[in-house]
Amino acid sequence: MRGILAINLLMFGPLFAVMAYFTFLPPIVCTGLIFLNFSRLLS
C-alpha cells in the first residue's frame, strides 16, 4: 500500500506545481488537498 501512495505522491506533487502556475483557484485547492492527504497517509 505504501508503494501505491508513493506513486500517487510522485504524480500529484508535480501536477500541483504545474496547476498552481497555469490555472485558477478551485483546481489548485483540490489537487493540493489530494497531495496533502496522500502525504499524510504515508507518514
| Mean pLDDT, range 21-34, rounded to an integer | 85
If you write DSSP's letter for every residue of the chain in order, what string do you get? Answer: -HHHHHHHHHHHHHHHHHHHHHS-HHHHHHHHHHHHHHHHHH-
Considering the entire predicted model, what is its pTM? 0.56
pLDDT per residue over 4-20, tens digit each? Answer: 888 888 988 898 888 88
pLDDT per residue over 30-43, tens digit each? Answer: 888 988 888 888 77
Amino acid 31: pLDDT? 85
